[in-house]
Amino acid sequence: MKRRLIILISLLFILACVDVLAIGLSPYSIKVPYTAGESVNVSISLINNAKEPRNATLQVGGEDASWVKYPNEYYFLDASASREVILTINFPQDAEPGMHRINLAAKEMPSSVKGTGISVFGEVSGNIDIMVPYPGTYARISVSGKNANVNEQMQLEVNVNNLGKRTIEHMIISAATYDKNQADIEKISEALESIEPGESYNAKIPLKSQLYSAGDYKAVVSGRYGILTTNEGIFEFRVGHLFINISNIVFLQQSGGLYKISFDVQSEWNAAIENVYATVEIFDKNNQQVNLLKTPSINLGPWEKNTLSAFFDAANLAEELYDARITLSYGEKTTAINVPFSKMKPTQAFSESTFVMVVILILILIINYLWMKNKKKNKPSINSDYRL
């Protein structure tokens, strides 16, 4: 106990002396609209989070780093101070449509200032995202949502982005859900008036919960505008019910007549379940209970899988086939399963005679190996230049 306390105090002391990632970057992520052939200035702040001065630099990377002009130099930052750095982005006239990302890295550099702490040189990453619009009309769609339990309200959250240069008029959003066997469950459509270039549209599409029993499902969403169609957005989700499954039951003989039973339990409920435990009853061939044991209790998170186990003494049981009944309890519900259990003879260590036989066998194998190796070594070789 004292040793652990000393280690903990030492770790806390070391952490108090260390300035980890003293240099920061603000903001970490920026979205800049694309304007063909023009320039735009972006302000980035280098921040010193340490209690002593630091040297820092800002670096730019990525395939489109050539678009950016910036003062590539070191900056001296006082303790808890910041420094503004201006980046100038020069947009090309004809950039390739799509998302362009410029990487930022704020790096701490070696300093001649001596501090009392322990410095850890690192870097903080950020990015500038530039969306170059597609010619004409172009949209992309995505869908998300949450798992639920039976009879709970469910909805799909749909996002449509206009990535083109023209306004999208009168889009029809179509959503379809399927079970794990690809059988149709529900089909829904929703109309939207317009989306301006560079804008997005968010919709929440409710689902009819009475159509969904417990199981796995998939939602497929797309949008149609004029003669064009968006990509397909796919979202997989689960509908749960209050049930815990039992699987992978193993009886493992320990020493003598001691046995361990273990099995996996997996929740099919989209919420936490507390105080989950199992009782195991052992019955003989006459259906008489010969043993009763209980596992420790655990808590399961949504859809979580865990293992329960318990030990029991079978020394006084005859060597025959038994029936084990596992009853899992959670709240007012239970899951029960019957499995066979066969008691085996207790495992014993090697007897003295068995040990001697094993040693003799190993010696015979070694002698045979050495004899074969020596025989090959002494075998005369055939000289290809030998003449009669």
What is the domain partition of the chain in residue ranges?
23-132, 139-239, 244-342
Q: What is the mean pLDDT of residues 349-375?
A: 73
Separation CA 111–CA 278 (nearest Å): 62
Separation CA 309–CA 343 (nearest Å): 18
State percent of the chain over pLDDT 90: 62
CATH 2.60.40.10 at 23-132, yes or no = yes
CATH 2.60.40.10 at 139-239, yes or no = yes
Q: What is the mean pLDDT of residues 119-125?
A: 67
Q: If you average pLDDT over every residue of the chain, what do you get?
A: 86
The angle at the Cα of 76, spanning 70 to 79, to the nearest 5 degrees, equals: 130
Going by their DSSP bridges, the two strands 148-149 and 233-240 should be labelled as parallel
Q: What is the mean pLDDT of residues 328-340?
A: 96
Name the architecture of domain 244-342: Sandwich (2.60)
Q: What is the mean pLDDT of residues 34-44?
A: 93
pLDDT band (50, 70, 90) for residue 388 = very low
pTM: 0.69
| Helix%, strand%, coil% for the chain, nearest 5 | 15, 55, 35
Q: Please answer whether residues 276 and 299 qualify as being in contact, where contact means their C-beta atoms are separated by less than 8 angstroms.
A: yes
113 — phi, psi (to 5°)? -80, 125
Establish whether domains 139-239 and 244-342 are of one fold: yes
The angle at the Cα of 280, spanning 274 to 282, to the nearest 5 degrees, equals: 175
Q: What is the mean pLDDT of residues 117-122?
A: 49
Q: Please answer whether residues 147 and 155 qualify as being in contact, where contact means their C-beta atoms are separated by less than 8 angstroms.
A: no
pLDDT band (50, 70, 90) for residue 193 = confident
* Residues 6 or more apart whose Cβ sits within 8 Å of residue 211: 185, 186
Separation CA 109–CA 76 (nearest Å): 10
* pLDDT for position 6: 47
Report the side by side order of strands in the sheet with 123-132.
29-33, 123-132, 98-109, 54-61, 74-77
Please say if the pLDDT value at position 369 is more than 90. no
* pLDDT for position 382: 44
If phi over 0 gives left and psi between -120 and 50 gives alpha, with beta otherwise, what is residue 218?
beta
Pair of tokens at residue 74: 């070191």
Least confident residue range of 12-21, 86-95, 235-244: 12-21
- Measured CA distances, 137 to 97, 134, 189, 344 (Å): 12, 7, 21, 74
Please say if the pLDDT value at position 100 is more than 60. yes
Q: What is the mean pLDDT of residues 330-346?
A: 88
